[in-house]
Structure 1
Amino acid sequence: MAPPAAASLSGPHALARQALSPFASRRSGRLSVLVVAPRPVSSLPVAALVPWRGRMVAAAATAAEMAPAVSGEDGKPFVEEMRAVAMRLHTKDQANEGEKEPEAPPVSMWEPSVEGYLRFLVDSKVVFQMLEAIVDRAVVPWYAEFSNTGLERSEQLKKDLEWFRLQGHIIPEPSAPGTTYASYLEELAEKDPQAFICHFYNVYFAHTAGGRMIGKKVSEKILNKEELEFYKWEGNVSQLLQNVRNKLNQVASSWSRGEKDHCLEETEKSFKYSGDLLRHIFT
Protein backbone atom coordinates (compact mmCIF):
# COMPACT_ATOMS: atom_id res chain seq x y z
CA MET A 1 0.00 0.00 0.00
CA ALA A 2 2.24 2.75 -1.24
CA PRO A 3 1.46 6.50 -1.27
CA PRO A 4 1.13 8.47 -4.53
CA ALA A 5 4.31 8.50 -6.58
CA ALA A 6 6.40 11.65 -6.68
CA ALA A 7 9.93 12.85 -7.31
CA SER A 8 12.68 11.70 -4.95
CA LEU A 9 14.72 13.82 -2.60
CA SER A 10 17.79 13.40 -0.48
CA GLY A 11 17.28 12.27 3.10
CA PRO A 12 17.34 14.56 6.13
CA HIS A 13 20.54 13.07 7.54
CA ALA A 14 22.37 14.49 4.54
CA LEU A 15 21.85 17.93 6.07
CA ALA A 16 23.52 16.90 9.26
CA ARG A 17 26.67 15.94 7.39
CA GLN A 18 26.74 19.42 5.83
CA ALA A 19 25.75 21.56 8.79
CA LEU A 20 25.42 19.65 12.08
CA SER A 21 27.49 20.95 14.97
CA PRO A 22 27.08 20.83 18.76
CA PHE A 23 24.51 23.30 20.01
CA ALA A 24 24.67 25.15 23.27
CA SER A 25 21.71 26.10 25.40
CA ARG A 26 19.96 29.08 23.90
CA ARG A 27 16.67 30.93 24.36
CA SER A 28 14.02 31.32 21.72
CA GLY A 29 11.18 33.79 21.86
CA ARG A 30 9.01 31.20 23.60
CA LEU A 31 11.14 29.06 25.85
CA SER A 32 14.60 27.88 26.80
CA VAL A 33 15.99 25.14 24.66
CA LEU A 34 18.78 22.72 25.38
CA VAL A 35 19.83 20.57 22.49
CA VAL A 36 22.40 17.95 23.39
CA ALA A 37 25.18 17.52 20.87
CA PRO A 38 24.44 14.37 18.85
CA ARG A 39 26.67 11.50 17.94
CA PRO A 40 28.68 11.87 14.76
CA VAL A 41 26.25 11.67 11.86
CA SER A 42 28.19 8.86 10.26
CA SER A 43 26.92 6.55 12.97
CA LEU A 44 23.25 7.44 12.54
CA PRO A 45 20.63 6.16 10.09
CA VAL A 46 19.14 8.26 7.34
CA ALA A 47 15.59 8.90 6.20
CA ALA A 48 15.76 9.58 2.48
CA LEU A 49 13.24 9.27 -0.30
CA VAL A 50 14.11 6.79 -3.01
CA PRO A 51 11.94 4.69 -5.32
CA TRP A 52 11.27 1.11 -4.26
CA ARG A 53 13.48 -0.98 -6.51
CA GLY A 54 13.10 -4.40 -4.96
CA ARG A 55 15.15 -6.38 -2.53
CA MET A 56 18.34 -5.30 -0.81
CA VAL A 57 20.97 -7.33 0.96
CA ALA A 58 22.73 -6.66 4.23
CA ALA A 59 25.72 -4.33 3.92
CA ALA A 60 28.80 -4.26 6.13
CA ALA A 61 30.05 -1.09 7.82
CA THR A 62 32.62 -0.09 10.40
CA ALA A 63 31.09 1.30 13.61
CA ALA A 64 32.17 4.89 14.11
CA GLU A 65 31.12 4.76 17.73
CA MET A 66 29.55 1.79 19.43
CA ALA A 67 29.04 0.74 23.04
CA PRO A 68 29.31 -2.97 23.78
CA ALA A 69 26.28 -4.76 22.37
CA VAL A 70 25.08 -8.14 21.23
CA SER A 71 26.69 -9.04 17.90
CA GLY A 72 25.23 -10.77 14.89
CA GLU A 73 26.50 -13.92 13.24
CA ASP A 74 29.30 -12.00 11.55
CA GLY A 75 30.40 -10.33 14.80
CA LYS A 76 28.78 -7.00 13.96
CA PRO A 77 25.96 -5.47 16.07
CA PHE A 78 22.79 -5.61 14.01
CA VAL A 79 22.11 -1.87 14.34
CA GLU A 80 25.38 -1.31 12.47
CA GLU A 81 24.05 -3.44 9.63
CA MET A 82 20.91 -1.30 9.58
CA ARG A 83 23.00 1.87 9.51
CA ALA A 84 25.17 0.52 6.72
CA VAL A 85 22.22 -0.21 4.45
CA ALA A 86 20.83 3.26 5.14
CA MET A 87 24.14 4.98 4.45
CA ARG A 88 24.42 3.32 1.06
CA LEU A 89 21.26 5.18 0.06
CA HIS A 90 23.12 8.48 0.41
CA THR A 91 24.90 10.17 -2.44
CA LYS A 92 28.69 10.10 -2.43
CA ASP A 93 28.90 13.70 -1.25
CA GLN A 94 26.73 12.84 1.77
CA ALA A 95 28.53 9.70 2.94
CA ASN A 96 31.51 7.57 1.94
CA GLU A 97 29.19 4.58 1.63
CA GLY A 98 26.77 6.52 -0.56
CA GLU A 99 25.88 5.16 -3.99
CA LYS A 100 23.01 7.39 -5.14
CA GLU A 101 23.10 10.32 -7.56
CA PRO A 102 21.84 13.67 -6.18
CA GLU A 103 18.13 14.01 -6.93
CA ALA A 104 17.09 17.21 -5.18
CA PRO A 105 18.46 20.64 -4.24
CA PRO A 106 19.84 21.19 -0.73
CA VAL A 107 17.47 22.31 2.01
CA SER A 108 19.06 25.76 1.95
CA MET A 109 17.30 26.24 -1.39
CA TRP A 110 13.87 25.12 -0.18
CA GLU A 111 11.13 27.75 0.08
CA PRO A 112 8.91 26.34 2.84
CA SER A 113 5.53 27.73 3.85
CA VAL A 114 3.83 27.63 7.23
CA GLU A 115 0.89 25.79 5.65
CA GLY A 116 3.14 23.08 4.20
CA TYR A 117 5.09 22.78 7.43
CA LEU A 118 1.85 22.34 9.38
CA ARG A 119 0.85 19.49 7.05
CA PHE A 120 4.21 17.88 7.77
CA LEU A 121 3.78 18.25 11.53
CA VAL A 122 0.20 16.93 11.49
CA ASP A 123 1.12 13.88 9.43
CA SER A 124 4.22 13.27 11.53
CA LYS A 125 2.03 13.27 14.64
CA VAL A 126 -0.16 10.55 13.10
CA VAL A 127 2.91 8.40 12.42
CA PHE A 128 4.49 8.88 15.84
CA GLN A 129 1.18 8.18 17.57
CA MET A 130 0.93 4.92 15.70
CA LEU A 131 4.49 3.90 16.57
CA GLU A 132 3.84 4.63 20.24
CA ALA A 133 0.51 2.79 20.24
CA ILE A 134 2.07 -0.27 18.63
CA VAL A 135 4.87 -0.65 21.16
CA ASP A 136 2.50 0.07 24.07
CA ARG A 137 0.00 -2.53 22.83
CA ALA A 138 2.85 -5.02 22.25
CA VAL A 139 1.04 -7.64 20.18
CA VAL A 140 4.55 -9.02 19.76
CA PRO A 141 5.89 -9.25 23.33
CA TRP A 142 9.31 -7.76 22.65
CA TYR A 143 7.74 -4.57 21.26
CA ALA A 144 7.32 -3.59 24.91
CA GLU A 145 11.10 -3.16 25.10
CA PHE A 146 10.68 0.01 23.00
CA SER A 147 8.01 1.71 25.07
CA ASN A 148 8.92 4.89 26.97
CA THR A 149 12.38 5.24 25.45
CA GLY A 150 12.42 9.02 25.78
CA LEU A 151 12.38 9.38 21.97
CA GLU A 152 8.57 9.58 21.74
CA ARG A 153 7.31 12.64 19.85
CA SER A 154 3.50 12.70 19.72
CA GLU A 155 2.98 14.78 22.89
CA GLN A 156 5.60 17.28 21.75
CA LEU A 157 3.87 17.59 18.38
CA LYS A 158 0.54 18.09 20.12
CA LYS A 159 2.00 21.04 22.03
CA ASP A 160 3.53 22.51 18.89
CA LEU A 161 0.28 22.31 16.94
CA GLU A 162 -1.54 24.03 19.79
CA TRP A 163 1.08 26.79 19.71
CA PHE A 164 0.45 27.29 15.99
CA ARG A 165 -3.29 27.40 16.63
CA LEU A 166 -2.82 30.12 19.25
CA GLN A 167 -0.84 32.10 16.67
CA GLY A 168 -3.95 32.12 14.48
CA HIS A 169 -3.07 29.30 12.09
CA ILE A 170 -5.62 26.73 10.97
CA ILE A 171 -4.47 23.21 11.77
CA PRO A 172 -5.17 20.90 8.82
CA GLU A 173 -6.57 17.41 9.00
CA PRO A 174 -4.14 14.50 8.49
CA SER A 175 -3.50 13.74 4.83
CA ALA A 176 -2.67 10.66 2.77
CA PRO A 177 1.11 10.53 3.39
CA GLY A 178 0.59 10.36 7.15
CA THR A 179 -2.50 8.15 7.30
CA THR A 180 -1.15 5.76 4.66
CA TYR A 181 2.14 5.36 6.48
CA ALA A 182 0.41 4.85 9.84
CA SER A 183 -1.85 2.18 8.36
CA TYR A 184 1.14 0.44 6.82
CA LEU A 185 2.96 0.44 10.17
CA GLU A 186 -0.09 -1.05 11.89
CA GLU A 187 -0.26 -3.79 9.28
CA LEU A 188 3.44 -4.59 9.61
CA ALA A 189 3.27 -4.66 13.39
CA GLU A 190 0.69 -7.45 13.24
CA LYS A 191 2.16 -9.52 10.42
CA ASP A 192 5.83 -8.64 9.95
CA PRO A 193 7.67 -7.57 13.13
CA GLN A 194 11.12 -7.51 11.55
CA ALA A 195 9.95 -5.07 8.87
CA PHE A 196 8.20 -2.97 11.51
CA ILE A 197 11.40 -2.66 13.52
CA CYS A 198 13.18 -1.32 10.44
CA HIS A 199 10.68 1.55 10.29
CA PHE A 200 10.82 2.12 14.04
CA TYR A 201 14.59 2.47 13.90
CA ASN A 202 14.76 4.73 10.88
CA VAL A 203 11.94 7.07 11.88
CA TYR A 204 13.25 7.76 15.37
CA PHE A 205 16.94 7.90 14.59
CA ALA A 206 16.51 10.02 11.47
CA HIS A 207 14.53 12.61 13.38
CA THR A 208 17.29 13.15 15.94
CA ALA A 209 19.87 14.01 13.27
CA GLY A 210 18.92 15.20 9.79
CA GLY A 211 15.32 15.76 10.81
CA ARG A 212 16.44 18.11 13.54
CA MET A 213 18.57 20.06 11.09
CA ILE A 214 15.65 20.39 8.70
CA GLY A 215 13.58 21.76 11.56
CA LYS A 216 16.27 24.31 12.36
CA LYS A 217 16.55 25.47 8.75
CA VAL A 218 12.77 25.75 8.35
CA SER A 219 12.50 27.66 11.61
CA GLU A 220 15.08 30.16 10.42
CA LYS A 221 13.15 30.74 7.21
CA ILE A 222 9.53 30.95 8.35
CA LEU A 223 9.27 30.89 12.16
CA ASN A 224 11.67 33.64 13.21
CA LYS A 225 13.93 30.94 14.66
CA GLU A 226 11.20 29.60 16.97
CA GLU A 227 12.32 26.19 18.27
CA LEU A 228 9.55 23.66 18.52
CA GLU A 229 9.03 20.97 21.15
CA PHE A 230 9.31 18.41 18.34
CA TYR A 231 13.06 19.00 18.30
CA LYS A 232 13.73 18.85 22.04
CA TRP A 233 14.28 15.83 24.29
CA GLU A 234 14.57 15.39 28.02
CA GLY A 235 17.99 14.12 29.01
CA ASN A 236 20.96 13.24 26.86
CA VAL A 237 19.87 12.38 23.32
CA SER A 238 23.00 10.36 22.63
CA GLN A 239 22.34 8.18 25.66
CA LEU A 240 18.66 7.74 24.74
CA LEU A 241 19.70 6.57 21.30
CA GLN A 242 22.34 4.23 22.69
CA ASN A 243 19.79 2.67 25.03
CA VAL A 244 17.56 1.92 22.04
CA ARG A 245 20.50 0.57 20.02
CA ASN A 246 21.28 -1.85 22.80
CA LYS A 247 17.67 -3.04 22.93
CA LEU A 248 17.52 -3.43 19.15
CA ASN A 249 20.71 -5.47 19.15
CA GLN A 250 19.43 -7.65 21.98
CA VAL A 251 16.09 -8.32 20.27
CA ALA A 252 17.74 -9.03 16.91
CA SER A 253 20.15 -11.50 18.52
CA SER A 254 17.32 -14.05 18.53
CA TRP A 255 16.51 -13.55 14.83
CA SER A 256 17.67 -15.86 12.09
CA ARG A 257 19.92 -14.52 9.34
CA GLY A 258 16.92 -14.56 7.01
CA GLU A 259 14.85 -12.45 9.44
CA LYS A 260 17.66 -9.93 9.76
CA ASP A 261 18.01 -9.65 5.99
CA HIS A 262 14.26 -9.20 5.68
CA CYS A 263 14.43 -6.30 8.15
CA LEU A 264 17.21 -4.69 6.12
CA GLU A 265 15.25 -5.11 2.89
CA GLU A 266 12.54 -2.82 4.27
CA THR A 267 14.91 0.17 4.49
CA GLU A 268 14.05 1.70 1.13
CA LYS A 269 10.33 1.59 1.88
CA SER A 270 11.01 3.28 5.20
CA PHE A 271 12.84 6.07 3.41
CA LYS A 272 10.11 6.45 0.83
CA TYR A 273 7.31 6.87 3.35
CA SER A 274 9.35 9.32 5.44
CA GLY A 275 10.24 11.25 2.31
CA ASP A 276 6.57 11.61 1.43
CA LEU A 277 6.05 13.40 4.75
CA LEU A 278 9.01 15.68 4.17
CA ARG A 279 7.71 16.70 0.78
CA HIS A 280 4.96 18.65 2.53
CA ILE A 281 7.53 21.19 3.66
CA PHE A 282 8.57 22.44 0.26
CA THR A 283 5.46 21.86 -1.87
Structure 2
Amino acid sequence: MVVVSPTMAAEKPKKRCSGEAMEFVEEMRFVAMKLHTRDQAKEGEKEPEGPPLAKWDPSIVGYLRFLVDSKLVYDTIERIVDKAVFPEYAEFRNTGLERSESLAKDLKWFKEQGHIIPELSAPGVSYAHYLEELSEKDPQAYLCHFYNIYFAHTAGGRMIGRKVAEKILNKKELEYYNWDGDLSQLLQNVREKLNRVAESWTREEKNHCLEETEKSFKFSGDILYLILS
Protein backbone atom coordinates (compact mmCIF):
# COMPACT_ATOMS: atom_id res chain seq x y z
CA MET A 1 0.00 0.00 0.00
CA VAL A 2 1.15 3.54 -0.73
CA VAL A 3 1.47 5.77 2.31
CA VAL A 4 2.13 9.43 1.62
CA SER A 5 3.74 11.96 3.87
CA PRO A 6 4.52 15.66 4.00
CA THR A 7 7.38 15.15 1.64
CA MET A 8 6.11 13.91 -1.70
CA ALA A 9 5.52 17.31 -3.28
CA ALA A 10 4.72 20.37 -1.24
CA GLU A 11 7.64 20.50 1.14
CA LYS A 12 11.24 20.95 0.05
CA PRO A 13 14.19 20.90 2.42
CA LYS A 14 15.47 24.31 3.42
CA LYS A 15 18.99 25.19 2.33
CA ARG A 16 21.14 25.93 5.35
CA CYS A 17 24.41 27.76 5.71
CA SER A 18 27.36 25.74 6.96
CA GLY A 19 27.07 25.29 10.72
CA GLU A 20 23.44 26.43 10.87
CA ALA A 21 21.26 24.26 13.09
CA MET A 22 18.46 22.24 11.49
CA GLU A 23 15.03 23.65 12.29
CA PHE A 24 12.70 21.19 13.95
CA VAL A 25 10.24 20.92 11.05
CA GLU A 26 13.19 19.83 8.90
CA GLU A 27 13.86 17.08 11.42
CA MET A 28 10.21 16.02 11.17
CA ARG A 29 10.46 15.96 7.40
CA PHE A 30 13.70 13.95 7.48
CA VAL A 31 12.14 11.27 9.69
CA ALA A 32 9.05 11.10 7.47
CA MET A 33 11.17 10.70 4.34
CA LYS A 34 12.77 7.55 5.71
CA LEU A 35 9.32 5.98 6.05
CA HIS A 36 8.78 6.16 2.28
CA THR A 37 9.65 3.35 -0.08
CA ARG A 38 12.55 3.91 -2.47
CA ASP A 39 10.19 4.40 -5.41
CA GLN A 40 8.49 7.27 -3.54
CA ALA A 41 11.62 9.08 -2.39
CA LYS A 42 15.35 8.57 -2.75
CA GLU A 43 15.73 8.70 1.04
CA GLY A 44 13.05 6.03 1.50
CA GLU A 45 13.95 2.91 3.45
CA LYS A 46 10.65 0.99 3.65
CA GLU A 47 9.77 -2.02 1.54
CA PRO A 48 6.59 -1.57 -0.56
CA GLU A 49 3.54 -3.35 0.88
CA GLY A 50 1.21 -3.21 -2.10
CA PRO A 51 0.74 -2.07 -5.69
CA PRO A 52 2.05 1.32 -6.82
CA LEU A 53 -0.46 4.15 -7.14
CA ALA A 54 -0.62 3.83 -10.92
CA LYS A 55 -2.01 0.29 -10.52
CA TRP A 56 -4.67 1.13 -7.95
CA ASP A 57 -8.25 0.15 -8.76
CA PRO A 58 -10.36 2.49 -6.59
CA SER A 59 -14.14 2.39 -6.24
CA ILE A 60 -16.65 5.12 -5.44
CA VAL A 61 -17.76 3.20 -2.34
CA GLY A 62 -14.19 2.85 -1.09
CA TYR A 63 -13.39 6.47 -1.86
CA LEU A 64 -16.45 7.62 0.08
CA ARG A 65 -15.34 5.52 3.06
CA PHE A 66 -11.97 7.26 2.86
CA LEU A 67 -13.56 10.72 2.72
CA VAL A 68 -15.98 10.02 5.59
CA ASP A 69 -13.20 8.75 7.87
CA SER A 70 -10.88 11.58 6.83
CA LYS A 71 -13.56 14.10 7.78
CA LEU A 72 -13.83 12.57 11.24
CA VAL A 73 -10.08 12.95 11.72
CA TYR A 74 -10.11 16.59 10.58
CA ASP A 75 -13.18 17.31 12.73
CA THR A 76 -11.26 15.92 15.68
CA ILE A 77 -8.09 17.91 14.98
CA GLU A 78 -9.99 21.16 14.55
CA ARG A 79 -11.93 20.57 17.77
CA ILE A 80 -8.70 19.84 19.66
CA VAL A 81 -7.00 23.08 18.59
CA ASP A 82 -10.14 25.07 19.34
CA LYS A 83 -10.34 23.55 22.82
CA ALA A 84 -6.57 24.04 23.36
CA VAL A 85 -6.00 21.92 26.46
CA PHE A 86 -2.37 22.94 26.03
CA PRO A 87 -1.89 26.63 25.12
CA GLU A 88 0.40 25.85 22.18
CA TYR A 89 -2.51 24.19 20.37
CA ALA A 90 -4.16 27.60 20.03
CA GLU A 91 -1.29 28.61 17.72
CA PHE A 92 -2.79 26.29 15.10
CA ARG A 93 -6.32 27.65 14.91
CA ASN A 94 -7.46 29.05 11.57
CA THR A 95 -4.31 28.15 9.66
CA GLY A 96 -6.14 27.96 6.35
CA LEU A 97 -5.27 24.27 6.06
CA GLU A 98 -8.50 23.08 7.72
CA ARG A 99 -10.38 20.47 5.69
CA SER A 100 -13.61 19.67 7.55
CA GLU A 101 -15.76 22.22 5.76
CA SER A 102 -14.38 21.23 2.36
CA LEU A 103 -15.06 17.55 3.03
CA ALA A 104 -18.61 18.36 4.14
CA LYS A 105 -19.21 20.09 0.79
CA ASP A 106 -17.78 17.13 -1.13
CA LEU A 107 -19.88 14.59 0.73
CA LYS A 108 -22.96 16.72 0.08
CA TRP A 109 -22.09 16.72 -3.64
CA PHE A 110 -21.77 12.92 -3.69
CA LYS A 111 -25.13 12.61 -1.95
CA GLU A 112 -26.72 14.91 -4.54
CA GLN A 113 -25.35 12.61 -7.25
CA GLY A 114 -27.32 9.75 -5.70
CA HIS A 115 -24.53 8.05 -3.78
CA ILE A 116 -25.14 6.64 -0.30
CA ILE A 117 -22.77 8.14 2.24
CA PRO A 118 -21.34 5.26 4.29
CA GLU A 119 -21.10 5.00 8.04
CA LEU A 120 -17.78 5.60 9.76
CA SER A 121 -15.25 2.78 9.54
CA ALA A 122 -12.92 1.40 12.19
CA PRO A 123 -9.74 3.11 10.87
CA GLY A 124 -11.15 6.62 11.20
CA VAL A 125 -12.84 5.97 14.53
CA SER A 126 -9.66 4.44 15.95
CA TYR A 127 -7.49 7.33 14.79
CA ALA A 128 -9.87 10.01 16.05
CA HIS A 129 -10.07 8.30 19.45
CA TYR A 130 -6.28 8.03 19.62
CA LEU A 131 -5.84 11.72 18.75
CA GLU A 132 -8.37 12.77 21.39
CA GLU A 133 -6.59 10.81 24.11
CA LEU A 134 -3.11 11.83 22.98
CA SER A 135 -3.95 15.51 22.81
CA GLU A 136 -5.02 15.52 26.47
CA LYS A 137 -1.66 14.35 27.80
CA ASP A 138 1.11 14.53 25.18
CA PRO A 139 1.41 17.74 23.12
CA GLN A 140 4.69 16.75 21.47
CA ALA A 141 3.30 13.49 20.11
CA TYR A 142 0.01 15.12 19.14
CA LEU A 143 1.71 17.86 17.11
CA CYS A 144 3.61 15.17 15.21
CA HIS A 145 0.25 13.87 13.98
CA PHE A 146 -0.99 17.41 13.27
CA TYR A 147 2.04 18.07 11.07
CA ASN A 148 1.94 14.79 9.19
CA ILE A 149 -1.81 14.84 8.54
CA TYR A 150 -1.95 18.34 7.10
CA PHE A 151 1.33 18.38 5.21
CA ALA A 152 0.80 14.90 3.76
CA HIS A 153 -2.54 15.94 2.32
CA THR A 154 -1.10 19.00 0.58
CA ALA A 155 1.57 16.84 -1.04
CA GLY A 156 0.99 13.17 -1.81
CA GLY A 157 -2.67 13.46 -0.87
CA ARG A 158 -3.31 15.79 -3.78
CA MET A 159 -1.50 13.43 -6.12
CA ILE A 160 -3.71 10.54 -5.00
CA GLY A 161 -6.79 12.74 -5.36
CA ARG A 162 -5.92 13.49 -8.98
CA LYS A 163 -5.32 9.83 -9.78
CA VAL A 164 -8.60 8.76 -8.20
CA ALA A 165 -10.50 11.55 -9.96
CA GLU A 166 -9.08 10.43 -13.30
CA LYS A 167 -10.20 6.85 -12.73
CA ILE A 168 -13.66 7.19 -11.17
CA LEU A 169 -14.81 10.85 -11.10
CA ASN A 170 -14.30 11.96 -14.70
CA LYS A 171 -11.47 14.22 -13.42
CA LYS A 172 -13.75 16.23 -11.12
CA GLU A 173 -11.67 18.16 -8.59
CA LEU A 174 -13.09 18.00 -5.09
CA GLU A 175 -13.09 20.85 -2.57
CA TYR A 176 -10.90 18.63 -0.38
CA TYR A 177 -8.01 19.40 -2.71
CA ASN A 178 -8.53 23.17 -2.94
CA TRP A 179 -7.40 25.86 -0.53
CA ASP A 180 -8.23 29.54 -0.24
CA GLY A 181 -5.14 31.66 -0.69
CA ASP A 182 -1.52 30.76 -1.42
CA LEU A 183 -1.02 27.19 -0.20
CA SER A 184 2.77 27.49 -0.05
CA GLN A 185 2.43 30.51 2.24
CA LEU A 186 -0.14 28.75 4.43
CA LEU A 187 2.29 25.85 4.83
CA GLN A 188 5.18 28.18 5.59
CA ASN A 189 3.14 29.92 8.28
CA VAL A 190 2.48 26.58 9.97
CA ARG A 191 6.14 25.55 9.68
CA GLU A 192 7.13 28.74 11.46
CA LYS A 193 4.57 28.15 14.21
CA LEU A 194 5.77 24.57 14.72
CA ASN A 195 9.40 25.67 14.86
CA ARG A 196 8.50 28.39 17.35
CA VAL A 197 6.58 25.99 19.60
CA ALA A 198 9.40 23.43 19.46
CA GLU A 199 11.96 26.00 20.60
CA SER A 200 10.72 25.52 24.17
CA TRP A 201 11.02 21.72 24.03
CA THR A 202 13.92 19.75 25.43
CA ARG A 203 15.88 17.44 23.13
CA GLU A 204 14.09 14.51 24.74
CA GLU A 205 10.70 16.05 23.98
CA LYS A 206 11.72 16.66 20.38
CA ASN A 207 12.87 13.07 20.00
CA HIS A 208 9.59 11.89 21.53
CA CYS A 209 7.70 13.89 18.90
CA LEU A 210 9.79 12.40 16.09
CA GLU A 211 9.27 8.87 17.40
CA GLU A 212 5.51 9.28 16.90
CA THR A 213 5.94 9.64 13.11
CA GLU A 214 5.68 5.94 12.33
CA LYS A 215 2.45 5.65 14.30
CA SER A 216 1.05 8.60 12.35
CA PHE A 217 1.90 6.85 9.08
CA LYS A 218 0.22 3.65 10.26
CA PHE A 219 -3.07 5.33 11.22
CA SER A 220 -3.18 7.45 8.06
CA GLY A 221 -2.28 4.47 5.91
CA ASP A 222 -5.17 2.43 7.31
CA ILE A 223 -7.58 5.21 6.31
CA LEU A 224 -5.99 5.60 2.89
CA TYR A 225 -6.39 1.88 2.28
CA LEU A 226 -10.18 2.34 2.45
CA ILE A 227 -10.01 3.76 -1.10
CA LEU A 228 -9.36 0.22 -2.32
CA SER A 229 -12.07 -1.41 -0.17
Instruction: Give the TM bin, normalised by the shorter chain.
Output: over 0.9
CA offsets 1:177-236 (integer angstroms, 9 cap, x no match): 111100100001001110000000000000001001101100010011111000000011
Q: 2:94 aligns with which of 148, 172, 188?
A: 148
Which residue of 1 is the match for residue 185 of structure 2?
239
Deviation at 1:13, TM superposition (A): 4.8
Distance in 1 (CA, whole Å) between partners of 2:215 and 2:4 is: 15
Q: Which amino acid aligns with 1:12?
A: V
Structure 1 unmatched runs, 5+: 1-8, 18-37, 44-62, 67-73
* Structure-to-structure mapping, 1:25-64, within 5 angstroms: 39=10, 41=11, 43=12, 63-64=13-14
CA offsets 1:258-282 (integer angstroms, 9 cap, x no match): 0000000000000000001001101
Aligned residue-pair number: 227
Distance in 1 (CA, whole Å) between partners of 2:5 and 2:52 is: 12
Choose 130-139 or 88-97, whichever is displaced more. 88-97
For the residue of structure 1 that corresponds to 2:119, the secondary structure is coil
Distance in 2 (CA, whole Å) between partners of 1:182 and 1:282 is: 21
Which residue of 2 is the match for residue 162 of structure 1?
108
Which residue of 1 is the match for residue 54 of structure 2?
108
Distance in 1 (CA, whole Å) between partners of 2:75 and 2:39 is: 34
TM-score (norm 1): 0.77
Distance in 1 (CA, whole Å) between partners of 2:99 and 2:135 is: 19
Which residue of 1 is the match for residue 203 of structure 2?
257
Q: Which amino acid aligns with 1:111?
A: D
Which residue of 2 is the match for residue 29 of structure 1?
none
Distance in 1 (CA, whole Å) between partners of 2:160 and 2:5 is: 9
Given the alignment of the two structures, is residue 12 of structure 1 paired with residue 4 of structure 2, yes or no?
yes
Deviation at 1:96, TM superposition (A): 2.4
* Structure-to-structure mapping, 1:149-228, within 5 angstroms: 149-228=95-174
Q: Which amino acid aligns with 1:150?
A: G
Q: Which amino acid aligns with 1:119?
A: R
Higher helix share: 2
Given the alignment of the two structures, is residue 125 of structure 1 paired with residue 71 of structure 2, yes or no?
yes
TM-score (norm 2): 0.95
Distance in 2 (CA, whole Å) between partners of 1:64 and 1:138 is: 30
Which residue of 2 is the match for residue 139 of structure 1?
85
Q: Which amino acid aligns with 2:46?
A: K
For the residue of structure 2 that corresponds to 1:92, the secondary structure is coil
Q: Which amino acid aligns with 1:163?
A: W
Q: Give the CA RMSD over aligned residues.
A: 1.8
Deviation at 1:102, TM superposition (A): 2.1
Structure 2 unmatched runs, 5+: none
Which residue of 2 is the match for residue 52 of structure 1?
none
User: Are the aligned partners of 1:12 and 1:213 in contact in 2 as well (CA < 8 Å)?
Assistant: no
Which residue of 2 is the match for residue 69 of structure 1?
none
Deviation at 1:64, TM superposition (A): 4.0
Distance in 2 (CA, whole Å) between partners of 1:136 and 1:158 is: 19
User: Are the aligned partners of 2:106 and 2:176 in contact in 1 as well (CA < 8 Å)?
Assistant: yes
Deviation at 1:104, TM superposition (A): 1.7
User: Are the aligned partners of 1:188 and 1:196 in contact in 2 as well (CA < 8 Å)?
Assistant: yes
Deviation at 1:92, TM superposition (A): 2.2
User: Are the aligned partners of 2:5 and 2:32 in contact in 1 as well (CA < 8 Å)?
Assistant: no
% identical equivalent positions: 67
Distance 1:187 1:222, change over 3 A: same
Given the alignment of the two structures, is residue 94 of structure 1 paired with residue 40 of structure 2, yes or no?
yes
Distance in 2 (CA, whole Å) between partners of 1:102 and 1:118 is: 25
User: Are the aligned partners of 1:88 and 1:97 in contact in 2 as well (CA < 8 Å)?
Assistant: yes
User: Are the aligned partners of 1:92 and 1:99 in contact in 2 as well (CA < 8 Å)?
Assistant: yes
Distance in 1 (CA, whole Å) between partners of 2:53 and 2:41 is: 17
